Amino acid sequence: MSTIRLSPALQNLKPSATLAAAAKAKELKAKGVNVLDFTLGEPDFITPENIRQAAVTAMNAGHTHYTASGGIPELKQAVCAAYQRDYGLKFAANQVLISNGAKHSIHNVISSLCGPGDEVIIPAPYWVSYSALVEIAGATAVLVDTTEASGFCMSAEQFSAAITPKTRLLMLNNPSNPTGCAYPVAQLEALARIAVEKDILVLSDEIYEKLIYKGAEFRSFASFGPEVAARTIIVSGVSKAYAMTGWRIGWTIGPVEVIKAMDNLQSQETSNPCSISQYAAVEALNGPQVSVEAMRVEFEKRRNYVMERMRPWRSQFGITFAEPGGAFYAFFNVKSCFGRTLLGGAKVDNATDFCTALLEKAHVALVTGDAFGAPGYVRLSFATSLEQLKAGLDAIERFLAG
């Protein structure tokens, strides 16, 4: 009998559902099956040339060694300058920590602030790693269900009702993965007022901040006044806006004492983020921003095409959804399919069954909403070509028609 015993924090930890769905699609692809894969939230564009060239220049200049654990001064200053330029927010370099991607930043925040007995409020649907990272820290995730009718936005009343003496943090993702919801400014401001009134810290995950579409508006949570900013911990990075997912650079902006604690933690866990990636990120933030807008425009074209194709599904198949104002996801309700006979005789009872049958029968890969705290929903990433989207939506329609 094995004597290996996992830590309590990891005994029930499940792998990322998005990565697991992508792995299943890759298995079929390896067998020669043409899989239309819409699982990963990753821009399909190559990192812009000026950023790639900055990495080459950094290597040739010898920037291939350790840096300070919390990031190079040039990148911290670039982050501060970008927030001043884009949002009129003034931060000092000692309020910034550079990490190995935004997911690492989120882990640092939770591990630095939360522990056993603490509660973290998370609006659902939520990104798959949120609750897992809270559980790893030994804290409790308090899920607040939002509705399609509300655009999957949590109300101030819901936030207030979820607060208890154990509440340590609110985790807010705006725009949202998986729903694509972008909070209306007035609703975001109402949440900010509650945070001040109840003295609650807010982790504002703003990684999709540059991907906003017509009819929606982005406001950084820290922009609602000094009292709000004092309670806000911003997490973002270069992955989505600059097509730099593989470079693994994220950052946290927050109160000095929180950033210092996170830096101490990071120094023990990973040391510095990749030195070359940091110099590339400096160019991303300081250099021309035309590529950011060009990619956003293309994502909006794809978003509009997906919505145009999906709107008839409401009457044809009973599929419902809230139209996304940001990010690059369509999140739709497939409960009308449960118990029905779909393509190839497939019968499904839940969203996970739906995704499995869709992959096996129609060779289309989506992610189940069960992983996002939204049973009955599925997520489609439209961060891919219009040609791929057309083929995928055609295949889903055939699957739904049976």
Q: What is the dihedral of CA 161, 198, 120, 324, to 10 degrees?
A: 70
User: Which tens digit of pLDDT belongs to each residue from 24-80?
Assistant: 888 877 888 889 999 989 999 999 999 999 999 999 999 999 999 999 999 999 999
- Collect the ranges in the chain with pLDDT lower than 70: 1-2
User: What angle (nearest 5°) sits at the alpha carbon of residue 163, between those of residues 161 and 169?
Assistant: 140
Residue spans in the chain of domains classed CATH 3.90.1150.10: 8-46+291-401
pLDDT of 40: 87
Rounded to an integer, what distance in angstroms lies between the CA atom of residue 329 and that of residue 181?
9
Residue spans in the chain of domains classed CATH 3.40.640.10: 51-287
Rounded to an integer, what distance in angstroms lies between the CA atom of residue 280 and that of residue 125?
33
Report whether CATH 3.90.1150.10 matches the domain 8-46+291-401: yes
Residue whose tokens read 């049976």: 402
Rounded to an integer, what distance in angstroms lies between the CA atom of residue 68 and that of residue 263?
10
Distance in angstroms between the alpha carbons of the first and the last residue of the chain: 49
- Of 335, 359, 360, residue with least CA distance to 349: 335
Report whether CATH 3.40.1410.10 matches the domain 51-287: no
- Bridge partners, residue 360, by sequence: none
Integer CA distances (angstroms), 25 to 190, 246, 355, in order: 41, 20, 11
Is the preceding peptide bond at 116 cis, omega within 30 degrees of 0?
no
